[in-house]
Amino acid sequence: MKNQSNLKHLSLLALALLVTFGACSSVNNDVEAISNEDVDLAAQIVTTSLADDESGMISSLYDAFSDVSSDGIIYGETDQNFKMDRRGNDGRGRERNFTYSYDPETGTHSLDYSRIVENGNFSKSIEITQDIIYTDLDEAFIEFPKVDKDLIEAISYSGTKIGSHNSPFRSGSFSKTDDFNLAGIHETSPILSLSGIHTGTGTAEGVTRDSVQASRSYDVNISFENVAVNKDTVEAHGSLEFAVSGTLTYSIVMSKTVNGVPEETIMEGTIDLSEDGTALMRFNKLPQVIRFSLGDGDRREDGHDRNGHDHRGF
């Protein structure tokens, strides 16, 4: 009898906990309930996760291809394979408080530094930690990638960026991590491919396309396999944004509080890299398609950019 009584009490307790947790939060997976505000905020999260000026994955890709040494990071014009004009570092920022070390046992080049940008209405402050491994055709470590850049066949990159950004119509704080592998860099390799994952957490806030002030906290996951990097385009134009093609998949969990109750919205879809400096963001089960710049992260469907006449909305 005592065991039955205990079991009854435990069952009642379990039921009470289920009711309590059910009242504490809700998850919105209903496509009909997804608003234009949700779409705009999801677009902001994806663009800031990928764009160069927003410290996204493209920025990490430039870092992986840079000349790394105890002298700092150089995106040098003397690089015959990857000239990479940085557009004046207008939105990326220059490196400060730089530290560097090399571990010959693992082949890891470790870097820590900060970047601060004050550019008109746009500002950004971030702290960056990176581990980069360069290998040759025989998979041997390369200790001096600046000197032996012609020997590089593959790059393994892992980097974390923590900081915040602010502009008239969007702002936020973030922690972003990129883990990817590049293969086919050597001149004897016909295809340069990129595979990896981007993860991030943070807050996104600003004015939507409908002139509504909105904010969310979020977690984002973007994965990519066999994304192609056109070597001829990089060599001819010095730009990675115009050289990447392929499809990424994303998943975003956005959170807000409604009447004291946390509410989560899950957004998923794909991102097509167009090899023209832009990407197309698509949503599962939704008709919207959003084109944005891989350089500055601004939306492009109306032809305006950060230096144009209209920035309103994400």
Q: What is the pLDDT of residues 256-303, one digit of tens each?
A: 876 777 789 999 999 999 889 999 999 998 999 999 999 988 888 644
pLDDT at 177: 98
Q: What is the mean pLDDT of residues 71-79?
A: 55
Q: How far is CA 171 from CA 48, 119, 163, in A?
A: 10, 14, 11
Percent of the chain with pLDDT over 70: 75
Confidence band (pLDDT; 50, 70, 90) for 312? very low
| Residue 82 confidence class, pLDDT cut points 50, 70, 90 | very low
pLDDT averaged over every residue in the chain:
80
* Total-model pTM: 0.80
The reported pLDDT for the residue numbered 157 is 97
* pLDDT higher than 60, residue 84: no
The pLDDT, as a whole number, for residue 69 is 65
What pLDDT is recorded for position 71? 64
pLDDT-derived band at 20, boundaries 50, 70, 90: very low
Read off the pLDDT band of 191 (50, 70, 90): confident
In a 13 Å sphere around the CA of 236, the CA atoms on its Cβ side amount to 7
> Interhelix angle for 57-65 vs 36-50, to 10°?
10
72 pLDDT band, cuts 50/70/90, is low
